[in-house]
Amino acid sequence: MKRRQMLWTLLLLLASLVYWFAHSGVEKLTFVVYGDVRTNHDVHRAIVAQILKFKPAFILCTGDLVSRGSVPEQWKTFFEIIKPIMDEKIPYIPAKGNHDIDSGTGLWAKAIERLNLKPNTGNPNYFSVQFGNLHFAILDSNSILEDDAQIRWLEREMGASKSLHKFVVFHHPLFTLIERRAASAERFRRRLQPVFNRLKICAAFTGHDHHFYLTKREGVTYITTGGGGAPLYDFDPNRSQKGDSFLKAYHFITIEVEEQSVKATVIGMNGERLKLEGKGENPFNVCSH
């Protein structure tokens, strides 16, 4: 009888350990973020080839997949370039950029369908996805300044989230090193920064500015990654704050998640780890809990 009781005790202990490991939120995976791939297709092809070497669990794009969203031929070229990604069954999840606006042709919705994405909002312009303990809200910054419904959805979705790491992905940045875009960034900042702070967002991934820029504000990490093929932009480092990093180069970003740590590395189009300007740390910490 005692031996049977000991056996049951050991079995119950083993079951408890299995349950704990299954629900402990431990994650170990790599994903990729990049954006603004609309021109210079040779650069985009080179970046896709390098991305595949990292065997990412999924890929996020910060928008501007094409130059004119209403032109079917441009979407055809885009899908030809990312075909190696789709062949590997790697989820490809884009935010809608200003160049992706399709003027009522429905080409954006068709692209989302072709990427095998099924938006949980029923709206191809904004939705959320989860990978384990990672929760991503994909937003449409083309309309969000006037779209109260999208903001309310974001607050419900991320406010109720139990995920350890919460991210937002959209096109237009809240912080910019480009003078002519300062007013636009300020409008997005006034609208979105208080929401991100309240929701305890880990990081925001954006594009639109064709370079790399990292800044941390009020506990949220803001990463601009727009070096996927569109013409690179000059910027003014004097617009940065102490501790920021930046770089004018074609690039993508690998994000490594291990348990409670999220770290990022900026990779060049030839697969090299790039040396950043400013604070200059690469890799760098995105967030930790």
Residue 9 in domain: no
Residue 4 in domain: no
Residue 19 in domain: no
Which CATH number goes with the domain that contains 186? 3.60.21.10
Query: What pLDDT, on a 0 to 100 scale, did the predictor assign at position 259?
Result: 82
Domain count across the chain: 1
pTM, full prediction: 0.90
Query: What pLDDT, on a 0 to 100 scale, did the predictor assign at position 7?
Result: 41
Nearest Cα residue to 183 out of 210, 145, 229, 215: 145
> Rg of the chain's alpha carbons, rounded to an integer?
20
Residue 1 in domain: no
pLDDT tens across the length of the chain (289 residues): 444 444 433 333 333 333 333 334 445 899 999 999 999 999 999 999 999 999 999 999 999 999 999 999 999 999 999 999 999 999 999 999 999 999 999 999 999 999 999 999 999 999 999 999 999 999 999 999 999 999 999 999 999 999 999 999 999 999 999 999 999 999 999 999 999 999 999 999 999 999 999 999 999 999 999 999 999 999 999 999 999 999 999 999 999 999 899 999 999 999 999 999 998 899 999 986 6
Residue 7 in domain: no
Residue 105 in domain: yes
State how far the Cα of 223 lies from the Cα of 179, in Å rounded to an integer: 18
Residue 253 in domain: yes
Residue 14 in domain: no
Residue-range definition of the domain harbouring residue 241: 25-288
> Which pair of tokens denotes residue 234?
């000059």
What one-character-per-residue DSSP string does 217-255 give?
ETTEEEEEE--SSSPP----GGGS-TT-EEE-S-EEEEE
